[in-house]
Amino acid sequence: MKRYLPFTLCLLWIASVGTASETNNATVKSTEKSISTPTASLGYVILYVKDVSASLAFYEQAFGFSRRFFNDDHGRAYGGLDTGGARLAFYNLELVNSELKLPKVVMASPEKPPLGFEIALLTPDVPAAFSRAVKAGAVVVSAPARKPWGQTVACVRDKDGHLIELATPMP
């Protein structure tokens, strides 16, 4: 029995190394449930833009979203779209300044590096959505490509310079 112990320990070590390397290459999903109940849900995202009406038209044409509303109150414009999930809304700088009263707001711009976030839109056909967005005036950042985790992903910038990711749902 003692002469098989080193051999057995070696096999266990090899098995654990193989399992660890397989885990590092796979997408790991959490099996733990949240202890607390969420107290909020994501209802909408607001992008600050130069021209709310033009942004609404771009997203309608590029992604097929339907307009929910548009309001221009003496140059302070606000509009929103139904996306099939959380809503996407737009404020112009005049409304941001009058409502939030912040000392300064950094706006996205096609001439500057993108802000530190992106809007991810899910679609079963990334190449078709990518082509439609580019035809509507989106700027190509990365063409559709299959990622190691199984999604197909592409990235464009809208006319205001915001990053828009087009992706298939996670497998």
Q: In what order do the strands lie in the sheet with 76-82?
A: 44-49, 87-92, 76-82, 66-73
* Entry pTM: 0.78
Q: Report whether 42 contacts 33 (CB < 8 A).
A: no
* Third-level CATH fold of 41-107: 2,3-Dihydroxybiphenyl 1,2-Dioxygenase; domain 1 (3.10.180)
How high is the pLDDT of residue 27? 57
- Rounded CA-CA distance 142/151 in Å is 14
Which pLDDT value is given to residue 19? 41
117 - beta bridge partners? Answer: none
- Can you give the pLDDT at residue 30? 61
Query: How much is the pLDDT for 10?
Result: 39
Question: What pLDDT sits at residue 5?
Answer: 38
Q: How far apart are CA 102 and CA 80, in angstroms?
A: 22
The rounded average pLDDT for each run of 10 residues, N- to C-terminus, in the chain (171 residues) is 41 40 53 78 95 98 97 97 95 94 91 96 98 98 97 98 97 85
Cβ atoms within 10 Å of 150's Cβ, excluding its own: 11
Assigned CATH class of 108-171: alpha beta
> What are the start-end ranges of the E strands in the chain?
44-49, 66-73, 76-82, 87-92, 118-122, 139-146, 152-157, 163-167
Sequence spans of domains, the chain:
41-107, 108-171
pLDDT attached to residue 87: 97
Q: Do the domains 41-107 and 108-171 sit in the same CATH topology, yes or no?
A: yes
- Return the structure tokens found at 122: 């899910």
Instruction: Specify whether the CB–CB gap between 127 and 144 falls below 8 A.
Output: yes
pLDDT score of 36 = 84
> How crowded is residue 76: how many other Cβ atoms within 10 Å of its Cβ?
17
